[in-house]
Structure 1
Amino acid sequence: MIKVELRVNGQPVSREVDDRTLLVELLRGELGLTGTHVGCDTSQCGACTVKLDGAAVKSCSVLAAQASGGDVLTVEGLGGPDGLGEVQQAFVACHGLQCGFCTPGMMMAIDYYLDTDGSPDDERIHRALEGNICRCTGYVNIVRAVKHAAQARIAAGKPLGKANHG
């Protein structure tokens, strides 16, 4: 057993876990944050994507012990007390989901993309989503959702890209 201490969606968390526990298992099992999905168990589908210290990672390939001391953001943390965040709202407005299984991972990858790239065009969006698989859609509405979320951030006075890391 190993003690893991981190911040999850802004809240401090401390747990004793087996040293082989994956971050996704800690989030879903120990913490009850079931928005992070387990799809393939091989880090291919991206359904388990979260942000760890600001970077998009596949939580099925990160040990909880590796994340210790870090800051984790899950899909549950994208919104706030006032409601859904820009990316979540954009998925609703643009019908960027069907079955919803891949959606949390897509949202986290998109949130990271908007944090790091200030120019959301189709080619860059497609590249940003390469590590996330959706079996239900043709990605058209997902790309629309990314552009919608980018515009919402700009309208709210939040800069896109590297300027967000100040």
Structure 2
Amino acid sequence: MGKAEREEAKTEFAEMNGSFTVKSGVLSNQDLYMIGPYVKVTGAGNVDLNKRTLKYRMVPKAMASTGGADGAGVTVPVLVDGSWSDLRFRPDLGVLISKTIQSPKAVVEGAIETLKTIKKEGLRGLLEGLAPKAPPPPAGENSEIAPTPPNTNPKELLKGLFGG
């Protein structure tokens, strides 16, 4: 990614923190925490800096508003792995199935609350926190050009987090 691309695309998070260790070129993190508009994300995993690969488990949680109030609902952990240029994203179905077996009623109630939040705030609002924000057009550029619609594909939005 060139310098111009890095300056143009950005993902806005109000907060991002965590601790890590690096041993033999492998960064390990067990307490990643990010807050963005409509989403709170926790995570843990490893980044091999030499091989340029990543293996992470991230848990996004919908928030009821951009102000930070947690939304009720189901959280589905996402497994992220692969090379930096070819990341794979997939739900951690093992955890979801385990939660369903332990408390099926809570999962159904959480799903209903998530759907209510999506109906009220819109799915786009939930995903906007992950979407890179485009900079305003330079002064003097033709303002009649229609803006590019935001990307709402969850896989592509998550790739944006890692510059993929």
| Higher radius of gyration, 1 or 2 | 2
Q: TM-score with structure 1 length normalisation?
A: 0.34
Instruction: Answer 1 or 2: which has greater strand percent.
Output: 2
Which structure features the higher share of helix residues? Answer: 1
